[in-house]
Structure 1
Amino acid sequence: MPTGAEAKGVAAISSDGHLSTAQEQTSRKGFCSVRHGLALLVHLCNFLINSQRMSLSIAMPAMVNSTAQLRPLNASAERPPADSQDGWNGTLQQSEAVAPMYDWSPEIQGIILSSYNYASFLVPIPTGYIAGIFGAKYLVGVNLLLSSVLALLIPLAADAGVLSIIVLRIFQGMAQVIVLTSQFSLWVKWAPPLEKSQLVNIAVSGQLMGSFITLLIGGFLCQTKGWPSIFYIFGGIGCVCSFLWFLLVYDDPIHHRFISADEKEYIVCSLAQQDCSPGWSLPIKAMIKSLPLWGILVFYFTEFWIFNIVITYLPTYINSVLQANIRDSGILSALLLGAACIGTILGGLLADFLHSRKIFRLVTIRKLSTAIGVLFPSAAFVSLYWVRFSFSASMGLLALSSVTITFCQTGALVNILDIAPRYTSFLQGLLEVFAYSSGAISSTVAGFLISQDSEFGWRNVFLIAVSINMSGLVFYLIFSQAKVQDWATEQMFTQL
């Protein structure tokens, strides 16, 4: 049964399906709104999840005995310059005085670091389905708290033994995937069509910001305060944030205690034409036959192939190919990710501006953003091999790729909210499975190529990634749409 606010919102829509002038004015007041506050809270959650995830990678060199230093598995065999090695050895000796160290072999370290992914692929689809039915508030809040508590326990788990820290990381990885997957169901009820891109991008950019801050200060914390400090800081902040989440977040604007009547009416009115109510039944057969859905699924796989390489191997590339020392490679990688975070937010604002001013149709914005997010990074990655002897040219190309690749977030990566708002959470879980599968395969392939040939390995890694990404772009451009599909409307509610 629609509430009074919903009925009032529906009545306020004109016969041509557009909002009234008063409601459009309400829209322009958005940056001090509850919905933008929600986007910032989700941004903070994503920031903490990614910081907690990366903390162990940053701390690992300080956790291991200097005789068993970690060389990234499947990474380049080239060694950094001697002066950077001496500096890092000094860092390890200083860390040993303030925190325990362990005699973990590189193989054991690799198992510990990868244990995050051992069970992560099991949870996205059921999480998406449950979030679509019951909402995301408690799924996100409980699992953010669980991940934060487990982060606080990592130093104790490390002292208890290898098996303890592996088990802890498995459960932490599952909790973090639940947070990242279930949050998308919030935007089905909170994101007006003309603000969808900016709200989602503000939230998602928290992941890049988490990587930026962790790379920037993680090594310093491990060196000066001891490696446990990085887990205590991000774990403690996560616990505080989880309690704020429970207090401030609601699954929809109708039941929010502090939202203004104008904002509530604006959101309800703008979403009144979309059939967003979840259903227990899923039109599986229709989903399998849906080419627009397959366009998004295929692009997710191809895009996260190259995106995972950028996130995983960027510090290694700057260190081994561009010959920056370990400290500088971390700082430069952080700056590139910071630029990407800013690009993500600005891309969302630009997409919503073009849509609200009716400069382009929504499907054109999705396709154009996706094309920019693929073509410019592809050109940059293909060119890296030929400018590898120029540090400034290489960093310029990496900066270009880091900023422009984020345009995909306002294109194909948010497109699922357009074609099937009723099933957004379930389908987002399915998309996460494609993304994790792609990341696992791309890391393995990249590591093999780099280890086999240190000179041409990087070139081959980028050429293969660009080829795969371009094929995904072509498939998406042919089949993508930006309107609600027939199988995602109410008349298909009981179809199996």
Structure 2
Amino acid sequence: MERIKKSSEWVPARYVLTAMFFLGMMNAYILRSNISVAIVAMIRTPTADGNGTDPSTSICGEFSFGATDANKTTNQGEFDWDETQKGRILSAFFYGYVFMQVPGGYLETKFGGKKVYGISMLIGAVLTLLTPVAARTDFWFLFFVRFFMGFFQGVIFPAHHGMWGKWAPPLERSRLLSMTCTGTNVGTVIALALSGYITDMLGWPWVFYITGIVALVWFVAWMLLVHDSPAEHPRISEEEREYIENSIGTNAKEDIPVPWLEFAKSRVVWCLLIGHFCNNWGNYTMLTNLPNYMDAILGFNIAENGLLSALSPLTIWVFTVTGGWIIDVIRSRDILDTLNSRRLLTSMGQFLPAIFLIISGFVGCDRAAAVAMLALSAGFGGLSTPGFKICHIEIAPRFGGILFGITNVFGSIPGFVAPEIIGAMTNNNQTREAWMNIFWIGAVIYVFGGIVVLLFLRTDIQPWAMAPDEVSPDVIFLEDVSNAPNQKHNEQQTTRENAELI
């Protein structure tokens, strides 16, 4: 036991939580994304007849890097589903996902994020293992397996934000949350990159068998290593516990009623809600439908399709981590205050993706340029995570999970609306013109969301999020430079010195 205690001093407990959340988000998105590539091999396609609009022939012709046969395999899929049905299967997860966002935050406050997050992942792993049986049994059986996978995974982000409201010191918040959230991008990279090769080597069912088993292994580690708050952690050092609790300025055990009405009246909550929807529209368009574009328009085979589709989430990961680090440096050195730092990254995370998305449509069949533009669009979109997507726990640290759940209800809508719309727009119409219209829709939504967030974003604790006797948020979170510049500088210096001791 003494050895375990000492190891917690070598590796701070909040960093262990960071690693486990990173791996948890990675596994969650592997389970979510694996079907995006696998479904290309699951569906039977007709034999090419030389017509450019034939489903088995891409608009830009077939292409391979050289080692793999450039001709796409035909007639090897098991299921006769059209583009509309394909879109329905890809969107099924998000139909379920939207239901548990607000309840997920509430469950985290009542039962703790450890149980809520862990059990949701356990159920997701079991349903993933069931996916091949469901697909071979009935179309609607598969639909409801994916639906309930989304339903139970709907709690993971509210639980994540709720737990970090108790664990993340203010000056480390952008870095820690950006790092854990990029597990989603790494998971998508792994799912897209490996699904094609697993399908090519072992068959599409093994995509679900392998990823389901890996998620079960993670669940065991999560239940052994993670605890709901510093106060409940049996191995955390006393120095780290005091540092976290004092810097956050909130006792996790205080019970304050959830201010539902104030949520509805708050302009900053509505701005986060709209921004979340608009940024996720671009993310989910790429996540669920990029392999379809790579197949039908650019003509990559199944293995290369998965690998190249993975470039977009890979760039999101790089940009999000870099953005989180940059914003913490900017804040700690008083180059910009928190609000303007987040506005800067939000501008880059909403407007630049729109520009690159449109350019990707105009480059046509220049495959290298198209892949690069789509990757840059996705990457810059990742800057919105340290830009505004973590502000929930800044404006209301006690209710971060619930608040994120509310905004993610609307942020999840693109997950099922976008695939349905894209399926309808491309059904018997896999053309560059159809996809150009899809890109224009995404660009306009990106820009609208960016404007709304820039106008109404706040980063100080809202009055309705504080206990009646709580100290001013300017003191606790060191956010308002204009009201207390000297006090902010002194407290930041103290916080940095304390962090160096841990």
TM-score, normalising length: structure 1: 0.82
SS at match of 2:383: helix
- The alpha-carbon deviation at position 82 of structure 1 amounts to 5.0
Distance in 1 of aligned mates of 2:380 and 2:139: 40
Distance in 1 of aligned mates of 2:336 and 2:280: 27
Distance 1:238 1:465, change over 3 A: same
Q: 81, 84, 99: which is aligned to 2:61?
A: 81
Cα-to-partner distance string for 1:339-386 (whole Å, 9 max, x where unaligned)? 221221121111112122222111111111101111221221232333
Q: 12, 18, 21: which is aligned to 1:39?
A: 18
Distance in 1 of aligned mates of 2:171 and 2:436: 41
SS at match of 1:245: helix
Distance in 1 of aligned mates of 2:117 and 2:262: 29
- The alpha-carbon deviation at position 68 of structure 1 amounts to 10
Distance in 2 of aligned mates of 1:30 and 1:298: 42
Q: Could you tell me whether the CA contact under 8 Å between 1:278 and 1:423 is conserved in 2?
A: no
Distance 1:165 1:470, change over 3 A: closer
- The alpha-carbon deviation at position 413 of structure 1 amounts to 0.8
Distance 1:149 1:319, change over 3 A: closer
1:81 counterpart letter in structure 2: G
What does 1:257-272 correspond to in 2, within 5 Å? Answer: 257-272=234-249
What does 1:278-289 correspond to in 2, within 5 Å? Answer: 279=255, 281-289=257-265
Distance 1:229 1:369, change over 3 A: same
Distance in 2 of aligned mates of 1:369 and 1:51: 27
Q: 187, 195, 207: which is aligned to 1:218?
A: 195
User: Is 1:115 paired with 2:95?
Assistant: no
Cα-to-partner distance string for 1:275-309 (whole Å, 9 max, x where unaligned)? 76564633222222211111111111221222222
- The alpha-carbon deviation at position 30 of structure 1 amounts to 11
Distance 1:305 1:140, change over 3 A: same
Q: Could you tell me whether the CA contact under 8 Å between 1:377 and 1:400 is conserved in 2?
A: yes
Distance in 2 of aligned mates of 1:219 and 1:365: 39
Cα-to-partner distance string for 1:1-44 (whole Å, 9 max, x where unaligned)? xxxxxxxxxxxxxxxxxxxxxxxxxxxx9994321221121111
- The alpha-carbon deviation at position 392 of structure 1 amounts to 3.4
User: Is 1:440 paired with 2:431?
Assistant: no
Distance in 2 of aligned mates of 1:438 and 1:345: 24
Aligned residue number for residue 358 of structure 1: 334
Q: Could you tell me whether the CA contact under 8 Å between 1:216 and 1:334 is conserved in 2?
A: yes
SS at match of 1:311: helix
User: Is 1:302 paired with 2:278?
Assistant: yes
1:410 counterpart letter in structure 2: P
Distance in 2 of aligned mates of 1:146 and 1:339: 29
Aligned residue number for residue 329 of structure 1: 305
Aligned residue number for residue 129 of structure 2: 152
Distance in 2 of aligned mates of 1:311 and 1:154: 19
Distance 1:261 1:68, change over 3 A: farther
Aligned residue number for residue 500 of structure 2: none
Aligned residue number for residue 246 of structure 1: 223
Cα-to-partner distance string for 1:428-487 (whole Å, 9 max, x where unaligned)? 111111111233333444444455683433333223322222222222111111100011
Distance in 2 of aligned mates of 1:458 and 1:76: 17
Distance 1:113 1:398, change over 3 A: closer
How many pairs are equivalent? 451
Distance in 1 of aligned mates of 2:86 and 2:179: 34
Q: 443, 446, 453: which is aligned to 1:476?
A: 453
Q: Could you tell me whether the CA contact under 8 Å between 1:76 and 1:450 is conserved in 2?
A: no
Distance in 2 of aligned mates of 1:233 and 1:275: 41
Distance 1:105 1:389, change over 3 A: closer
Q: 360, 385, 410: which is aligned to 1:409?
A: 385
Distance 1:170 1:375, change over 3 A: closer
1:149 counterpart letter in structure 2: V
Q: Could you tell me whether the CA contact under 8 Å between 1:355 and 1:365 is conserved in 2?
A: yes
Distance 1:278 1:410, change over 3 A: farther
Cα-to-partner distance string for 1:161-212 (whole Å, 9 max, x where unaligned)? 4444333322222122222332211100110001111111111111111111
1:43 counterpart letter in structure 2: F
Aligned residue number for residue 316 of structure 2: 340
- The alpha-carbon deviation at position 320 of structure 1 amounts to 4.1
1:45 counterpart letter in structure 2: G
- The alpha-carbon deviation at position 156 of structure 1 amounts to 3.3
In structure 2, stretches of 5+ residues that fail to align are 1-7, 49-54, 471-502
TM-score, normalising length: structure 2: 0.81
Distance in 1 of aligned mates of 2:159 and 2:128: 21
2:123 counterpart letter in structure 1: L
What does 1:153-172 correspond to in 2, within 5 Å? Answer: 153-172=130-149
Aligned residue number for residue 398 of structure 1: 374
Distance in 2 of aligned mates of 1:299 and 1:334: 24
2:373 counterpart letter in structure 1: L
- The alpha-carbon deviation at position 64 of structure 1 amounts to 4.5
Distance in 1 of aligned mates of 2:172 and 2:453: 23
User: Is 1:50 paired with 2:34?
Assistant: no
In structure 1, stretches of 5+ residues that fail to align are 1-28, 70-74, 94-100
Distance in 2 of aligned mates of 1:61 and 1:165: 15
- The alpha-carbon deviation at position 321 of structure 1 amounts to 4.1
Distance 1:390 1:80, change over 3 A: closer
Sequence identity percentage: 29
Distance 1:112 1:68, change over 3 A: farther
Distance in 2 of aligned mates of 1:66 and 1:394: 25
Q: Could you tell me whether the CA contact under 8 Å between 1:76 and 1:454 is conserved in 2?
A: no
Aligned residue number for residue 462 of structure 2: 485
Distance in 2 of aligned mates of 1:313 and 1:153: 23
